[in-house]
A and B are shown apart, each in its own frame.
Chain A
Amino acid sequence: MTSQDGDALTDAARLREADEPSSPVIRFGKDKPLRLDAGVDLAPWQIAYQTYGTLNEDRSNAILVCHALTGDQYVASTNPLTGKPGWWSMMVGPGRPIDTDRFFVICANVLGGCMGTTGPASTNPETGKPYALDMPLVTIRDMVRSQAMLIDELGIDTLFAVVGGSMGGMQVLQWAASYPDRLFSAAVLCSGARHSSQNIAFHEVGRQAVMADPDWCHGKYLEYDVRPAKGLAVARMAAHVTYMSDQSLHRKFGRSLQDREHVTFGFDADFQIESYLRHQGMSFVDRFDANSYLYVTRAMDYFDLAADYGGVLAHAFKGSKTRFCIASVTSDWLFPTSESRAVVHALNAAAGNVSFVEIDSPRGHDAFLLNEPELFTMVRGFLTGGARSRGILPPALADDWEAHS
């Protein structure tokens, strides 16, 4: 098989996931449109999701996990495109902090995504072609609205918890503001109540890279059977730097050279960091749709929760009975601790119930996806404490542990 055949195969697989995902999917007809902030109704539309664990008789043990920018519904199971384990399998699973022996975990692909929930790569029923830029712009609030409709379909009234990091955390905050009576607790990791100017700037760099690729074809690349792989790879490379820290890059790569003794006086990937970034960029384009990248980054840019409440963030949480758990990471410069603290102070001002910790880690923004024992302890403790007060029973095997904790 030539590499071009390989590319074609991945392309075909990725396209298939957009309309016919490997995961369960709920399709909403014209009678159940999704009202978008852009002022239009999206119909028909669909939402792809995965569940783990068992919903209890009271339907009280459901946790919704919200994924980040380039995540998907495969939070704790193999990704059908990459064959890799779930992106948060250290956090979610049997005996994990988000314990699927105890909780019923739901994770849905976000609106605008490319893994089976309606997005720019989905087929537009009006034309029979991919939506591309005819897909209306979506917001974090639209994503959350679509998730609420999914939860309705699953027959769940109140979620025990909504949990997410980064863009997932934005969705959690939006959940708390939009549906305060439908979630008992909320965990927001490495996130904030708005996207900062610096973050918008980095997203704009990424989008411009995609749009500057001649193969982007004004968004219609799928119709022409090409893809803006170079542009999307560059976007991913730039973004990836923001997910790490100077310290973690230095530790991991330093100035080490890639498979060579000396620099080559050329523009090959002389340094390990260059080689690493190129690899990150190229593997990303195999699993992600370029237009989805434009749409979902835009949704993050537009997020400013306080703006919807007269510029006062505390008003978003007025009267909220939800228990909050907020965590930041010392070396995260994408969503620095000050952003988390602003949320904590708003919750304090609203007399909300909130726990907050700043995790000391050199790994930057992506720390929330990695093996950070302090973060696991925090999330486990927060959920266990809440579950106890909600009468959600621990798994039989863990009875002993529970009795001693």
Chain B
Amino acid sequence: MSDAPMTETRIDHRVIAELVEPNSRVLDVGCGNGELLEILATSKGADARGIEISQVGVNSCVARGLSVIQGDADEDLSAYPDSAFDYVVLSQTLQATWDPKEVVRQLLRIGSHVIVSIPNFGYWQNRLHLLFKGHMPVTDYLPHSWYDTPNIHFCTIRDFVDLTKELGCTVEKAVALNGNGQRIPIQAPWWLWNLFGEQAVFLLKR
């Protein structure tokens, strides 16, 4: 489901792995081919599980000994009990769900911590695209046209921060990454993150 290139370790995966305490129980929602699960299992000793929508993705995970179910964030979160995991991860997937608010609510219910990474629609390149070309942004990072994109609920970093307020959860940590995958300094103001962050990773708590 992700638009990010899969050839080398995804930058947001590295950032997420740093946020996870060793030996935790982790659920990765939208785990793709299981790259993050494998990083967490091998480098963090995590008991890592996944949910993935594509049969190919699930099979490639299971074939590597990972525990993954075929399903999606909109349908399959409600079956999990409260606080079933130490961390629930939703990386680059929120914008593709039908009901992002309900999904985040479910994530906060089943995970003691929630890690969400999002593509930032407020990134300056996207703004320029819309402002000057008058087209929906199509970039290397967001390569789909408006009519075939799985991303139906884009938001900006600011929008997401507003959603966390609305849901009454705490942002424990936030990391914004610029177009080169570099971190934007933590002391930078939100507007800077919102403009220069191509993607952001949030660590949330109920």
- Chain A residues close to B by CB (< 8 Å): 323, 325-326, 341, 344-346, 348-349, 351, 353-360, 374, 377-378, 380-382, 384-386, 388-389
Contact = CB atoms under 8 A, between A and B. Distances in A.
Given A348-B79, A351-B81, A385-B62, A358 B67 contact: no
B63 interface: yes
Contact of A360 (B49, B55, B79): B55
B69 interface: yes
Given A355-B58, A355-B69, A348 B63 contact: no
A358 B57 CA distance: 12
Contact of A358 (B55, B63, B80, B84): B55
B55 A385 contact: no
Contacts of B71: 341, 344, 356
Is chain A's interface secondary structure helix, strand, loop, or mixed overall? helix
Contact of B62 (A349, A351, A378, A388): A378
Contact of A348 (B59, B64, B76): B76
Contacts of A381: 59, 62-65
B68 to A, nearest CB: 5
Interface of B: 49, 55, 58-59, 61-71, 76, 79-81, 84
A377 B63 contact: yes
B59 A357 contact: yes
A357 B65 CA distance: 14
B55 A351 contact: no
Given A355-B69, A356-B70, A359-B55, A325 B79 contact: no
B91 to A, nearest CB: 20
A354 B63 CA distance: 13
Nearest to A351: B84
A356 B69 contact: yes
A346 B18 CA distance: 32
A355 B68 contact: yes
B59 A349 contact: no
A349 B65 contact: no
B63 A345 contact: no
Contacts of B84: 348, 351
Contacts of A386: 65
Contacts of B68: 355-356
A337 to B, nearest CB: 9
Contact of B79 (A345, A353, A374, A378): A345
A102 to B, nearest CB: 15
B65 A378 contact: no
Nearest to A359: B55
10 contacts: A323-B67, A348-B76, A355-B58, A356-B68, A356-B69, A356-B70, A357-B55, A374-B55, A377-B63, A381-B62
A60 B63 CA distance: 21
A377 B59 contact: yes
A377 B61 CA distance: 11
A378 B59 contact: yes
B82 to A, nearest CB: 11
Given A355-B62, A386-B65, A345 B55 contact: no
B67 to A, nearest CB: 5
Nearest to A387: B65
A381 B61 CA distance: 9
Contacts of B55: 357-360, 374
A345 B58 contact: no
A146 to B, nearest CB: 31
Contact of B66 (A358, A374, A385): A385
